[in-house]
Amino acid sequence: MIFTSYVLLFNYIPKHRQVMTEFLIQLLRHGFRKHALRMNVQGTVPSLRKPVFTEWQVLIPNTKEQKPISYLLRCLDKTIALHQRKLEKLQELKKGYLQKMFC
pTM of the model: 0.60
Domain range list for the chain: 2-101
Q: Which pLDDT tens digit goes with each residue over 25-82?
A: 888 787 777 777 777 766 666 667 777 777 777 778 888 899 999 999 899 999 999 9
83, 85, 91, 95: CA torsion to nearest 10: -160
Residue of 51, 54, 70, 72 whose CA lies nearest to 62: 70
Kindly report the average pLDDT of the chain as a whole number: 79
Write the CA distances from 62 to 5, 18, 55, 97, 98, integer angstroms. 24, 7, 22, 52, 53
pLDDT beyond 70 at 3: no
Does 18 or 86 have the greater pLDDT score?
86
pLDDT at 93: 96
Does 59 or 89 have the greater pLDDT score?
89
